[in-house]
């Protein structure tokens, strides 16, 4: 993927006090700008930014206009802020914002002019026929969370344990999302869904992987257990793990899950590595279940999360698709990955062109 955004004239100009602020796309051939980006990360974070490649000039030279567009905020020709914009054809409909860093003047500017930044990014996203904007930020970088929530208007959608590498310790990643068409793609998740994901992730972080040790239930005459239940009192909700490959009749398994979920708040998890997962997903969706997340390392496997709750019915798979770096999670989804990658753009969405 190649992104072409001219770095002259500027994408936007905005006065800030007596000093005008210019917002420009950076060029990989401008060594001075690349050095300024590295200096900005060093001034702002020292060595604690978890993606260490941002401190290397080769990273920016090889990736600007190839993996992402690098956008800088300038005051008197000095770089005071930076973030990257990525529209990846492997994840159609999603525009990713990452690598956010701002010095004091840059932070003041985004606080005073959030709508101008947001409008610019939304125009870029619409130009690439995107319906959602995603920000994936490190846990310990608070200004990235501020930029995602306050500037871009994104809402927290998921937490990814140990996503960002940093020495011997990996930081959690926070995925924020903003829908350009809120009536079709609500940009915030129900509180009880966030609690469920948080509860699962806390257990995963504590134990490495989450094992189902609750009561086991038969769904047919098979001696093997295809239906396991445990409670999540902190939500509160029940969590059901289903194993379609262990059931002689998947329809019975799906019916049992539906009956259980009708009576109380229930989340259903399905291992992405189960050979019958794609067929079982169809049965779940036929019974009103909606996909609402991916939980890493559930019983040492990545799992798909479903719910029958009405507030989550309109959630789309794309809301939980993460950055290209996270493709290792998606690579295990087998046939279901095709669903992630083939959701269509809303038919009545206008094609926005601008100079």
Least confidently predicted of 133-147, 229-243, 266-280, 297-311: 297-311
Instruction: State both tokens at 222.
Output: 């098979």
Residue 158: its H or E element: strand 155-166
Does residue 188 register a pLDDT over 70? no
340 falls within a domain:
no
Is the pTM for the entire model greater than 0.85? no
344 falls within a domain:
no
Q: Do both 130 and 271 map to the same domain?
A: no
219 falls within a domain:
yes
Domain containing 295 — which CATH number?
A: 3.40.630
Does residue 301 register a pLDDT over 80? no
Q: Residues 6 or more apart from 14 whose CB is under 8 A from it?
A: 20, 21, 23, 109, 113, 116
7 falls within a domain:
no
175 falls within a domain:
yes
260 falls within a domain:
yes
Model pLDDT for residues 312-352, shown as the tens digit of each residue: 333 333 333 333 333 333 333 333 332 332 222 233 322 22
* Domain, as residue range, for 273: 194-314
- 237-242 and 266-271: which strand pairing? parallel
Does residue 235 register a pLDDT over 80? no
19 falls within a domain:
yes
Within the chain, how many helices (H) and strands (E) appear?
10, 14
Q: Residues 6 or more apart from 191 whose CB is under 8 A from it?
A: none
Q: What is the mean pLDDT of residues 188-196?
A: 56
Per cent of the chain over pLDDT 70 is 58
Does residue 210 register a pLDDT over 50? no
Domain containing 120 — which CATH number?
A: 3.40.630.30
Q: Do both 153 and 278 map to the same domain?
A: no
Q: Do both 171 and 200 map to the same domain?
A: no
Q: In 3-state terms, what secondary structure has residue 300?
A: coil
Does residue 66 register a pLDDT over 70? yes
**Into how many domains does the chain fold?**
2
54 falls within a domain:
yes
Does residue 165 register a pLDDT over 70? no
Q: Residues 6 or more apart from 26 whose CB is under 8 A from it?
A: 7, 33, 34, 37, 60, 64, 70, 71, 72
Picking from 167, 189, 211, the residue at the C-terminal end of a domain is 189
Highest mean pLDDT among 73-77, 173-177, 307-311, 349-353: 73-77
Q: Do both 160 and 51 map to the same domain?
A: yes
Q: Do both 176 and 36 map to the same domain?
A: yes
C-alpha 328/C-alpha 234 separation (Å) is 29
Picking from 155, 189, 223, the residue at the C-terminal end of a domain is 189
Q: Residues 6 or more apart from 286 whose CB is under 8 A from it?
A: 254
Give the distance between the most distant pair of CA atoms in the chain: 78
Q: Do both 211 and 169 map to the same domain?
A: no
Q: Do both 37 and 138 map to the same domain?
A: yes
pLDDT-derived band at 62 (thresholds 50, 70, 90) equals very high
C-alpha 332/C-alpha 327 separation (Å) is 9
Q: Do both 266 and 246 map to the same domain?
A: yes
Q: Do both 170 and 281 map to the same domain?
A: no
In the block, residue with structure tokens 């990846």: 88
Q: Do both 286 and 177 map to the same domain?
A: no
Q: Do both 163 and 253 map to the same domain?
A: no
Picking from 314, 334, 349, the residue at the C-terminal end of a domain is 314
pLDDT at 132: 81
Least confidently predicted of 40-44, 280-284, 318-322: 318-322
Strand partners, 102: 81
Least confidently predicted of 136-140, 168-172, 273-277: 168-172
Q: Do both 173 and 114 map to the same domain?
A: yes
Alpha helix positions (H), the chain: 31-45, 57-63, 104-112, 114-127, 142-146, 191-207, 250-263, 277-286, 327-330, 336-341
């Amino acid at each position: 993927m190649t992104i072409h955004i001219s770095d002259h004239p500027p994408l936007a100009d905005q006065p800030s006090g007596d000093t005008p602020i210019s917002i420009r796309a950076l060029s990989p051939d401008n060594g001075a700008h690349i050095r300024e980006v590295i200096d900005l990360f060093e001034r702002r974070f020292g060595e604690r930014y978890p993606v260490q490649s941002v401190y290397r000039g080769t990273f920016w030279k090889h990736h600007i206009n190839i993996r992402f567009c690098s956008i800088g905020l300038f005051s008197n020709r000095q770089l005071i802020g930076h973030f990257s914009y990525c529209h990846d054809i492997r994840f159609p409909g999603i525009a990713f914002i990452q690598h956010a860093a701002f010095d004091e003047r840059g932070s003041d500017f985004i606080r005073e002019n959030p709508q101008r930044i947001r409008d610019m990014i939304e125009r870029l996203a619409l130009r690439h026929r995107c319906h959602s904007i995603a920000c994936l930020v490190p846990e310990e970088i608070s200004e990235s969370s501020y930029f995602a929530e306050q500037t871009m208007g994104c809402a927290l959608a998921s937490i990814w344990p140990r996503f960002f590498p940093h020495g011997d310790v990996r930081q959690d990643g926070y995925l924020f999302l903003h829908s350009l068409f809120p009536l079709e793609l609500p940009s915030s998740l129900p509180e009880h869904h966030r609690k469920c994901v948080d509860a699962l992730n806390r257990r995963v972080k504590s134990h490495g992987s989450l094992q189902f040790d609750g009561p086991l239930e038969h769904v047919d005459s098979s001696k093997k257990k295809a239906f396991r239940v445990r409670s999540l009192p902190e939500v509160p909700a029940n969590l059901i793990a289903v194993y379609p490959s262990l059931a002689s009749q998947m329809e019975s398994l799906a019916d049992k899950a539906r009956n259980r979920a009708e009576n109380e708040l229930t989340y259903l998890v399905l291992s992405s590595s189960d050979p019958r997962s794609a067929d079982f997903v169809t049965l779940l969706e036929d019974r009103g279940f909606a996909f609402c997340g991916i939980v890493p390392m559930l019983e040492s496997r990545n799992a798909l999360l479903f719910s029958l709750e009405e507030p989550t019915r309109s959630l789309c798979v794309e809301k939980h698709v993460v950055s290209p770096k996270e493709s290792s999670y998606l690579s295990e989804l087998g046939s279901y990955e095709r669903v992630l990658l083939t959701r269509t753009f809303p038919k009545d969405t206008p094609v926005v062109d601008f100079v």
